[in-house]
Amino acid sequence: MFEFDQYLGFLAFLTILTIGFWLMIFLLTFVVPYWIGGSIMEMIKEKRAAKKAKQES
């Protein structure tokens, strides 16, 4: 069925595929929402600061 080097290649392929899958899941569930949430909070802070500066002047 498989020779030993083909078996090692198949295991390497499955390992890389699995690592890529879990990395994509991690990025989509934690990193991207954190990045978007931080960007929105920063934008809100900038708008508040601009509104405060406008009211003071």
Assign 3-class secondary structure to 8-48. HHHHHHHHHHHHHHHHHHHHHHHHHHHHHHHHHHHHHHHHH
Query: How many residues in the chain?
Result: 57
pLDDT of residue 57: 80
At residue 51, the 3 state secondary structure works out as helix
For 7-36, how does the pLDDT look when each residue is reduced to its tens digit (9 = 90+)? 999 999 999 999 999 999 999 999 999 999
pLDDT at 2 over 80: no
Q: What is the pTM of this model?
A: 0.69
